[in-house]
Structure 1
Amino acid sequence: MGLSVEAYQSIEAGESAPTLPQLESLAFFLDVPLEHFWGNQALSTLVSPDPVEQPAQLKELRQRIIGTRLRMARSTLNLSLSELSLKTNIPVDKIQRYEMGQEAIPLPDLELLASTLEIRNEDLFDQRGMIGKWRSDKVTAQNIMDLPPEVRAFISKPVNLPYLELAMRLSDLSAEKLRGVAEGLLEITY
């Protein structure tokens, strides 16, 4: 932000006010919209985490889910624990603990097991919980940022929402129905 620690602490304590460029830098650094600073609601109150998803409980649940996915893949490939152990050089009892969610799987072991069991790493990522939602939001935001600037500008205007909704409905139509719509439009214009 280009501030001394003392100046930053003075702003943080409400003793002095930041300039707009300083506020813009802070918003950029914190990865929040600049408009947030004019709101009256803290970001922490906007997203209320599911009370069930406490960090320790979440980790244990994720371990069990990952272990189950590994066990199912092993079963699908008709591999015994011993065969998987031979292919990965991971002891049978350790694989058993991994599959039961009784032991956290270090990433190198997980990558080796996933590769051996023909599971893509991405298929093991959290899809539904807080972290899964966060990841999905980040991927969506990145996909939007990858669009050409004029497309981003178009989709960011609320007035264009009907066009986007129409495009979504059209994308769900079969090729035959889409041809019918196109023919109807041609008849109208000629």
Structure 2
Amino acid sequence: MQGLRQEEATLRRKIVGVLLQHARRRANRTPEEVANVLGVTPELISDFEWGRRDISLVELEILAHLYRVPLAYFWSEEISDERSDGKLPVAAIMGLRRRIIAVLLQQARIEAGRSYEELARLLDCPPTRIAAYESAESDIPLVELEAMAQFLGVPMSYFFDQGIQPSGGQLPDMEELKQLAELPADVRRFIVTPGNILYLHAAMQLSALPASTLRRIGESLLDITY
């Protein structure tokens, strides 16, 4: 397997950058506003948009939500006209998503029967960097995650959090409303609070993971607690 070539990575960064800039302008957002959401500098947003710096999938998910475009927009020409107020529990969601992506990467590597060394050769980096990716100690640049996904035989959507995608606006049916009404009052308040929607989506995603994957996520969380 040929490693990720520098010119391919550079081209991909520039393509993503153009799409990021286009989506930001359509959403009527300034670099300063976007930087404030991510907790970074406007200069870094400019670097993302000009393809000078790598963006991670976690950061891309947050920006897709902010710009109200589906994550698939960055792999296709599909564009959404929806808008968002961009109010996300960004720090909490990004931290959890990093750990989920790290565990999913490790799971894909193990299931593909690949080693740290093989991924390191693919990316032309030391094996310790792959270990850092799988322990969520480092953000994974998007171009590198794409290369690893292809190498491991999984689609990029394997890593996506569908909960950060623009909603389709479908209304609940009467049975769903009845079930909601039967929940304890404090649970209902949590569910209907807009700021909690990403926590609920994260819980839904976690509930769909196998027990072995949940165990690894739990262990990784304990590692940073003690």
TM range (shorter): 0.3 to 0.5
Greater Rg, structure 1 or structure 2? 1
Normalised by the length of structure 1, the TM-score is 0.41
Structure ranking higher on relative contact order (CA contacts 8 Å, 6+ apart): 2
